[in-house]
Amino acid sequence: MSGDALPSFVCPACRGALAHHLGRDEHYRCASCDRVFPVVIGIPDFRLRPDPWIGLEADREKGMALEAETIGADFEATVRAYWRRTPGTPLEQAERFTQFVVSAEPRAAEWLAGVSAGESPPGWWLDVGCGTADLVLAGARRGQRILGIDIAFRWLVVARRRLQRAGVDAPLVCCNGEHLPFPDRSFRRVVSLGTLEHSLDADALVAESARVLEPNGRLHVRTVNRFSLLPEPHVGVWGVGFVPRRWADAYVRWRSGQRYQHHRPLSVREIGRAARACGLRDVRVDAAALLAADRARLGALAAAAPAYEAARRTPAIRRVVRWGAPLLDLEASRPEDPVAS
């Protein structure tokens, strides 16, 4: 389904047709299973399961309160207002995340330029796990139409503020990546930057991404490597991926006092298997190129960046390098539909 028309919605549970009811109680209702999906302060909410960090209603309430509090505020002020409403997060961690998301657009733009090098294909793109919409905004500045989805309603409120202050009108939808509210063959490309490791079911997320791709459409995913030789980036602890997953939280608590919940980085083999299992072709899982922002966060290790870049591009050793790389890039395409006889 290429073209200018925004992809339509279907029920994420049964893929039945949806009726759109306007008015004060705006919502979508499935004609097949009768599920109702609300539209909250202009954002459709098609979630079947809540964000693991917060319940559905609490998430919506937090988003609505944040929207009311920050009308007229700029993007950074909106991010800071969010963290004031999240007192359980240490101030140092909140400040680090604030700086990361405020400065995220150049990083997203650099990555996007790489995946779309040499072409700007028509049709809609889907950003799975759009967060604060840095990739959506970077795409808009390149003339690419990107629809952003995320499981966290409250962060979509922040994302919309980023787009508003940049003068960009791009669609944002709250839903589960494992249950997308779009028909088959809806998007020319599906992209995802730093989301797969947070998904509730990575195999299902990849399968859904494949389902909504057009024939010959491409999937591009960047994610943390489970077996990275660097410290786990979310908690700064080395070796998390080398212990059994059921022990990871206890290991992180022992090493740093932090919790390690709702993080599940995948290995090269796990990512490739997920892509092939849903019928994608030309599957490649490679060590990711270091972006400028990645180099800046390496500190003293930045001196090793040229050697890493050379190694990951060298045919004789690139397959070895990817096993311990900090980040992995998955690229795959959806095959043509079979011709009916």
Q: Has residue 210 been placed in a domain?
A: yes
| 6, part of any domain | no
pLDDT of residue 1: 44
Residue 247 included in any domain: no
3-state secondary structure the chain: CCCCCCCCCECCCCCCEEEEECCCCCEEEECCCCCEEEEECCEEECCCCCCCCCCHHHHHHHHHHHHHHCCCCCHHHHHHHHHHCCCCCCHHHHHHHHHHHHCHHHHHHHHHHHHCCCCCCCCCEEEECCCCCHHHHHHHHCCCCEEEEECCHHHHHHHHHHHHHCCCCCCEEECECCECCCCCCCEEEEEEECCHHHCCCHHHHHHHHHHCEEEEEEEEEEEEECCCCCCECCCCECCHHHCCHHHHHHHHHHHHCCCCCCCCCECHHHHHHHHHHCCCEEEEEEECCCCHHHHHHCHHHHHHHHHHHHHHHCCCCHHHHHHHCCEEEEEEECCCCCCCC
Residue 248: predicted pLDDT: 95
The total number of structural domains that make up the chain: 1
What local confidence, expressed as pLDDT, does residue 119 receive? 65
pLDDT tens across the length of the chain (341 residues): 445 788 999 999 999 999 999 988 999 999 999 999 999 999 999 999 999 999 999 999 999 999 999 999 999 999 999 999 998 888 888 898 999 999 999 999 999 998 886 666 578 999 999 999 999 999 999 999 999 999 999 999 999 999 999 999 999 999 999 999 999 999 999 999 999 999 989 999 999 999 999 999 999 999 999 999 999 988 889 999 999 999 999 999 999 998 898 899 999 999 999 999 999 999 999 999 988 877 777 777 778 888 999 999 999 899 999 999 999 999 999 998 775 54
Which CATH number is 223's domain given?
A: 3.40.50.150
Does the pTM surpass 0.85? The reply is: yes
- Is residue 143 assigned to a domain? yes
* Position 50 in a domain: yes
In a domain, 233, yes or no: no
**Containing domain of residue 136, as a range?**
18-228+265-333
Q: What is the pLDDT of residue 2?
A: 45
Domain-located, residue 284: yes
Residue 12 inside a domain? The answer is: no
